[in-house]
């Protein structure tokens, strides 16, 4: 029984550790500059953020007047259950509301946060009450809870702009939203998100790991995206189609278990093919819903992974050119 409890705590500690990625201000600025018109007269919620150290809160408080914001609410989770070394923690979650008053502006370096009764988990009743008050949620949520986090935003009909792992595209819950045109990828993807600040105990892995001039420990996984339901110019730009299927049929093999062709790269999508095409998941970064229709994800008619001569390419999204019907 004691061993089982310890294993649970170890797993929990490991999960918590994997969620301790903090967004750099430069990456926030690089993405959010494309959404400024959406923020006017809005209440912004950063519900995975300690306002005293969060770069999301720093961005919005610094640019409060320029963006024409109404209010910023930031809330932070604090673990209250036992850890490996103690029976309990005395800390509770907390939040802070910022309206850019002269007094608040003068105390940005010494914010007095308001304690919550509970731990501040985004699923808690207290956090949900805060969520109900806001217009747009902007943050870096825990990747391990990404499905549940997005589901809550959708259930409460909130606008959002959040960071996630690229693999989130493959989650059926997320793909369903993208297919239904209820969510889409933001502007930056992969190397477009330059890196995350990690705590002292976190291993600096990868060739691009570094310590910046401010002493922050940075890892660059190069596998993240922004997911949003705020409209952007990019999703209305056509993908330039320069290849042709007819005359180059050998470059586009057909699937064994679906009536469609395989396209290895988005830039190779043929301009003259009317049927279904399987494209890489990175296609979604350039997806224009006026140009293409998403049919389904990954599976053929037999509900098995799409295959070519018995071999399965990496996950494919089946699409069709709307303009060739």
In this predicted structure, the answer to whether residue 10 has a pLDDT above a threshold of 50 is no
Q: Are 158 and 15 in the same domain? A: yes
Query: Which residues span the domain enclosing 179?
Result: 2-232
In this predicted structure, the answer to whether residue 88 has a pLDDT above a threshold of 80 is no
CB-based contact 143:19 (threshold 8 Å): yes
Bigger pLDDT: 64 vs 200? 64
Q: What is the pLDDT of residue 308?
A: 96
Q: Are 176 and 29 in the same domain? A: yes
Query: Would you place residue 301 in the very low, low, confident or very high pLDDT band (cuts 50, 70, 90)?
Result: very high
Q: Are 150 and 244 in the same domain? A: no
In this predicted structure, the answer to whether residue 214 has a pLDDT above a threshold of 60 is yes
Bigger pLDDT: 280 vs 84? 280
Query: Would you place residue 206 in the very low, low, confident or very high pLDDT band (cuts 50, 70, 90)?
Result: confident
In this predicted structure, the answer to whether residue 2 has a pLDDT above a threshold of 90 is no
Query: Would you place residue 201 in the very low, low, confident or very high pLDDT band (cuts 50, 70, 90)?
Result: confident
Q: Choose the final residue of a domain: 203, 232, 261.
A: 232
Q: What is the pLDDT of residue 295?
A: 97
* pLDDT 10s digits, 30-83: 999 999 999 999 999 999 999 999 999 999 999 999 999 999 999 999 886 544
* Cα angle, residue 159 at apex, residues 98 and 99 outer, rounded to 5°: 10
In this predicted structure, the answer to whether residue 8 has a pLDDT above a threshold of 60 is no
What number is the average pLDDT over the span 181-207? 91
| Domain total in the chain | 2
Q: Choose the final residue of a domain: 232, 249, 282.
A: 232
Q: What is the pLDDT of residue 296?
A: 95
Q: Are 258 and 226 in the same domain? A: no
What number is the average pLDDT over the span 118-122? 95
Q: Are 160 and 242 in the same domain? A: no
Q: CATH number of the domain that 162 lies in?
A: 3.40.50
Q: Are 147 and 248 in the same domain? A: no
Q: What is the pLDDT of residue 174?
A: 97
Q: Choose the final residue of a domain: 232, 263, 281.
A: 232
Q: Are 7 and 130 in the same domain? A: yes
Average predicted confidence (pLDDT) for the chain = 90
Q: What is the pLDDT of residue 86?
A: 36
Q: What is the pLDDT of residue 80?
A: 66
* Cα angle, residue 28 at apex, residues 33 and 267 outer, rounded to 5°: 75
What number is the average pLDDT over the span 243-259? 97
* pLDDT 10s digits, 140-164: 999 999 999 999 999 999 999 999 9
Q: Are 125 and 54 in the same domain? A: yes
In this predicted structure, the answer to whether residue 87 has a pLDDT above a threshold of 60 is no
Q: What is the pLDDT of residue 44?
A: 98
What number is the average pLDDT over the span 274-300? 96
What number is the average pLDDT over the span 191-214? 88
In this predicted structure, the answer to whether residue 291 has a pLDDT above a threshold of 50 is yes
Q: Are 299 and 223 in the same domain? A: no
Q: Are 226 and 247 in the same domain? A: no
Q: Are 120 and 264 in the same domain? A: no
Q: Are 169 and 28 in the same domain? A: yes
In this predicted structure, the answer to whether residue 170 has a pLDDT above a threshold of 80 is yes
What number is the average pLDDT over the span 183-203? 92
């Amino acid at each position: 029984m004691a061993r089982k409890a310890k294993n649970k705590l170890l797993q929990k500690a490991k999960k918590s550790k994997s969620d301790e990625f903090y967004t750099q201000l430069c990456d926030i600025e690089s993405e959010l500059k494309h959404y400024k018109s959406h923020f006017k007269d809005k209440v912004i919620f950063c519900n995975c953020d300690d306002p005293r150290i969060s770069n999301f809160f720093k961005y919005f408080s610094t640019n409060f007047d320029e963006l024409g914001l109404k209010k910023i609410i930031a809330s932070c989770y604090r673990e209250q259950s036992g850890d490996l070394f103690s029976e309990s923690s005395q800390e509770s979650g907390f939040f802070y509301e910022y309206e850019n008053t002269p007094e608040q502006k003068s105390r940005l370096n010494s914010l007095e946060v308001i304690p919550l009764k509970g731990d501040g988990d985004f699923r808690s009743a207290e956090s949900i009450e805060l969520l109900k008050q806001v217009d747009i949620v902007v943050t870096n949520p825990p990747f391990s809870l990404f499905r549940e986090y997005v589901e809550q935003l959708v259930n409460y009909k909130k606008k959002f702009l959040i960071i996630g792992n690229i693999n989130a595209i493959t989650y059926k819950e997320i793909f369903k939203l993208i297919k239904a045109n209820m969510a889409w990828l933001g502007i930056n993807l992969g190397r477009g998100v330059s890196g995350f600040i990690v705590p002292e105990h976190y291993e600096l892995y990868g060739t691009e790991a570094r310590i910046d001039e401010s002493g922050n420990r940075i890892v660059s996984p190069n596998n993240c995206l922004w997911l949003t339901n705020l409209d952007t110019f990019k999703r209305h730009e056509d993908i330039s189609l320069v290849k042709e299927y007819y005359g180059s049929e050998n470059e586009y093999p057909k699937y064994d278990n679906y009536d469609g062709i395989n396209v290895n790269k988005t830039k190779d999508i043929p301009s003259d093919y009317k049927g279904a095409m399987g494209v890489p998941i990175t296609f979604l970064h350039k997806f224009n819903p006026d140009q293409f229709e998403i049919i389904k994800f990954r599976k053929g008619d037999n509900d098995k992974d799409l295959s070519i001569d018995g071999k399965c390419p990496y996950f494919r999204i089946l699409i069709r050119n709307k303009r060739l019907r």
